[in-house]
Structure 1
Amino acid sequence: MATMATTATMAERGPALEVRDLTTRYGPVTALNTVTVRARPGEITAVLGANGAGKTTLLRTISGLVRGSDGSVLLGERDLTRAPAEAIARAGVAHVPEGRGVITELTVEENLRLGDLLGARRADRRYHLADVYDLFPALAERRRREANSLSGGERQMLVIARALLSGPEVLLLDEPSLGLAPRIVARIFGILRDLVDRDGLTVLLVEQNARSALSIADAGFVLNLGRVVAAADARTLAADDELRHAYLGF
């Protein structure tokens, strides 16, 4: 089994986002135990593992929704470890949590403008409203409809588009494929891959669907019971039969 393998391509560039020896506890339960994860700039880094492995806790700790008890979180050279969630978002970390959390009483465009308000504060923002409508034509067609009228796939597109409008350097995505039809997952993952390849966006992708995640990722980390048990480029992880059967379910 390939355990904590590191490839040359992963080592060539410094990380856009680095988590060092992070420990997060919920009372007596240790959800993350000295976890180290690095996301290279302009790459998709997948965080994989079964339910309860600590994947969601990792994203919540990075984005400041949960406070880690030990370790550090760095955005480039900027230490975000003790920063509040609002400051982390302003620094350029956009978190799309599991569950497609749109504000259903607002229209599609009103939801998007919430992200646009935060992005307008960033001089180096990459995306404007017209850009996300080009990326997600279904949202453009439904811009004046209330968000509660959208399908599950359209809601996932909406929360990703809203996050892009906030002007992120790093996009954290938690289980974007959950509950969606395979063709919708393929479409959303294809858009993510295009954003990385075309615009240099950095994505940290948490997924239980390991096969799909590794098909678009550049690198990956596997969590089990709050610890990193493997780290390598995506092809190496996908080719490791013992690792796949033990931790990834395919």
Structure 2
Amino acid sequence: MTAGTLEVAGLTTSYGPVTALDGVDVTAERGRITAVLGANGAGKSTLLRTVSGLVRPDAGHVRLDGVDLTRAPAEDVARAGVAHVPEGRGVITELTVEENLRLGALLGSARKRTDRRLAHVYEMFPPLAERRRHDAHVLSGGERQMLVIGRALLTGPSVLLLDEPSLGLAPRVVAQIFGLLRGLVDDTTTGLGMTVLLVEQNARSALSVADVGIVLNLGRVVARDAAATLAADENLRHAYLGF
């Protein structure tokens, strides 16, 4: 098992009488983007929320490098190295860009390490560096997405959970964001090479950048394969992915 391996086994999560996940198995490895695809209501966001500790599962396990995080509080999951970027690009608009970023370092990183990570985020996202002293309300939608990803990176994660990062963004910006994600998983020289679990409804774009794809339907895994193989499967695409 490589460091940064996230294992989800038999995960079942319910909201009252509704079963959102039904025995889901996922393995995401360091240096790979694993895309979780499917229609609205398939269980994609619930999967990330359960992995990050925001929702308690009914059954199954979540492990990071063999350590069981299944019922750990969300803050302990984050300290273990799992950063969750939920849908919605939630930034605190009254704070500056840099103040928003430094919120990600509140889990106890040393000042020197925080400064190094901040410098790397500014290198990755030049628009944030240019606006570091500006209030976050001036940012465009794409820049806000950069900001929330950058804030997650300030925690120093080994696993990055991303929920619908392309939502509402122009195709050019989506391509830029996904290109940066590819750089994150490939970049081991800075210590930021990581595992990315990407939830997306924009299946075409997600499969173009992912290594592995998993398709959910009504809370169950219906397909799992190399991203290129899933993208080439016309019947699967028409049935579940909408392109």
Q: Same fold (TM over 0.5)?
A: yes
Give CA-to-partner distance per residue, 1:16-64, whole Å, 9 cap, x none: 1011000000000000000001101110000000000000000000000
Q: Is the alpha carbon distance of 1:36 and 1:124 closer, same or farther for their aligned partners in structure 2, counting shifts above 3 Å?
A: farther
Structure 2 stretches of 5 or more lacking a match? Answer: none
Q: Would you identify which runs of 4 or more consecutive aligned residues in structure 1 move more than 4 Å?
A: 12-15, 121-127
**Percentage of identical aligned residues:** 74
Given residue 8 of structure 2, which amino acid in structure 1 is its aligned partner?
V
Matches within 5 A, 1:30-179: 30-118=19-107, 120=109, 128-179=117-168
Give CA-to-partner distance per residue, 1:148-194, whole Å, 9 cap, x none: 11110000000000001100000000000000000000001001101
In structure 1, the residue corresponding to 2:106 is in which secondary structure? helix
- 1:113 and 1:162 in contact (8 A); partners too: yes
Given residue 22 of structure 1, which amino acid in structure 2 is its aligned partner?
L
- 1:23 and 1:68 in contact (8 A); partners too: yes
Matched residues in 2 for 1:126 and 1:239: separation?
43
Q: Displacement of 1:119 after TM fit?
A: 6.1
Given residue 47 of structure 1, which amino acid in structure 2 is its aligned partner?
V
Equivalent in the alignment of 2:230: 237
Aligned length: 239
- 2:105 and 2:114 in contact (8 A); partners too: no
Q: Is the alpha carbon distance of 1:122 and 1:61 closer, same or farther for their aligned partners in structure 2, counting shifts above 3 Å?
A: farther
In structure 2, the residue corresponding to 1:171 is in which secondary structure? strand
Q: Displacement of 1:117 after TM fit?
A: 2.8
- 1:125 and 1:168 in contact (8 A); partners too: no
Given residue 99 of structure 1, which amino acid in structure 2 is its aligned partner?
G
Matched residues in 2 for 1:203 and 1:125: separation?
21
Equivalent in the alignment of 1:182: 171
> Are positions 1:17 and 2:6 aligned together?
yes
TM-score (norm 1): 0.92
